[in-house]
Amino acid sequence: MPPLNASRRRILLGALLAPALIPACGKTPAPLRVGTNIWIGYESLYVAENRGLLARQAIRLITMRNASEVQQALHAGMLEAAAMSLDEALNLVEEGLDLRVVLVMDISHGADVVLGHPGVSTLQDLRGKRVGVETSALGAVMLQACLEAAGLRPDELRIVDMGIDRHASAFREGQVDAVVTFEPVRSELLREGATLLFDSSMAPGRIVDVLVVTTETLERNPEPIRQLVEGHFKAIDYLRTDPLRAATIMRPRQQLPPEEIVKAFEGVRIPDVSENHRLLSAASGPPELESNADRLMRLMVEHRLLREPVSVRGLADGRFLPTP
């Protein structure tokens, strides 16, 4: 994982660590710092905050520019929790971070995509082309699935490393011929004429988004975690009962019309409380999420997305889930 440069580290430290000084003054405990990037599957947390379901003195949601920055901040101790894909969590486990998955937020089923310029109409057309992708685990997993479907090797493409915050502008300006991206960039570029080459529905179950918390935080400050998990489910209920109003709350972050946000949710499946219990808890044997994570880990090792196998035992923690 690339280190933060000195100036960015100082900026993040100033923004993220200031709340940690509060307990020294004898005031209320520092809030749980939760990092996310812009992705529709994480919007439930912001809807919960908007509707007063999260106590602001207990939980602080922090939006970062891309998934790589979220991982770096969590790894550096600037966050206690984060929303990220399961493969990204495995990368952090490999780096030695002790994490627990307390919530399965969504499973991508079409919202992660590979888009091409109008002249790039098939996967085979990617040969020799410039493909923009964030070199996070998520980007690598999507790119690998795309290459498998196309029958291409990585060295047959010209890979251009870029964070999600640059995907739309680089595509529009012709800096890349194709891009591995996700919502809301997916909807923006498709509306502007991009060609859909591949999406996550063609690689089912590979991209799972989870809420992770450091093990130390689970033991030291569990109540905000329970509140965060409950807030997610209440926000999802609100999305289902009044989707346009919920989408209006999401609009400032997603930068899409509410109708397009509602449609974008068709590309993800959101596990309910019962399914989360099945995924994160088990009466006997490993929880289903750990079995899935083990299969994903082996796939990542095979394709050199992890340097070596890591243990996923104890990764799932369902104790903060509401009663079904």
Q: Is 229 helix (H, G, I), strand (E, B) or coil?
A: helix
Residue 178 has pLDDT above 90, yes or no: yes
State both tokens at 62. Answer: 């922090």
pLDDT score of 310: 96
Side chain identity, residue 254: Q
Q: What is the pLDDT of residue 30?
A: 87
Mean predicted lDDT score pLDDT of the chain = 89
Label the pairing between strands 81-85 and 208-214: antiparallel
Q: Can you tell me the mean pLDDT for 13-31? A: 53
Residue 149, pLDDT above cutoff 50:
yes
What pLDDT shows up at residue 283? Answer: 74
Tell me, what DSSP letter sits at residue 30? P
Count Cβ atoms below 10 Å from residue 183 Cβ, excluding itself: 26
pLDDT confidence of residue 203: 86
pLDDT, mean of residues 297-321: 92
Q: In the prediction, which pLDDT does 2 show?
A: 42
Question: For tokens 């999802």, what's the residue?
Answer: 236
Q: Are 217 and 102 in contact (CB under 8 A)?
A: no
> What are the distances in angstroms from CA 148 to CA 68, 198, 303, 315?
24, 11, 11, 29
The answer as to CATH 3.40.50.300 being correct for domain 112-202 is no
Q: Is 13 a residue whose pLDDT tops 50?
A: no
Condensed to tens digits (0 to 9), the pLDDT of residues 107-140 reads 999 999 999 998 899 999 999 999 999 877 778 8
Least confident of 28-32, 54-58, 68-72, 205-209: 28-32
Is the CATH code 3.40.640.10 the one for domain 6-109+207-302?
no
| pTM reported for the whole predicted model | 0.82
* pLDDT band, residue 19 (cuts 50/70/90): very low
Q: Where in the chain is the domain with CATH 3.40.190.10?
A: 6-109+207-302, 112-202
CA dist 310 and 23 (Å) reads 36
Instruction: Kindly state the average pLDDT of the residues 175-191.
Output: 94
Start-end of H helices in the chain: 6-17, 43-50, 67-75, 86-94, 137-150, 164-172, 185-191, 215-220, 223-241, 243-254, 258-264, 273-280, 288-302
β-pairing verdict for 99-108 and 208-214: antiparallel
Is residue 195 scored above 60 in pLDDT? yes
Q: How far is CA 296 from the centre of its chain?
A: 16
How many Cα neighbours within 13 Å face the side chain of 165?
A: 9
> Has residue 8 got a pLDDT over 60?
no
Identify the CA nearest to 85 among candidates 61, 115, 107, 116.
107
String of DSSP letters for 1-26? -PPPPHHHHHHHHHHHHGGGGGGGGT
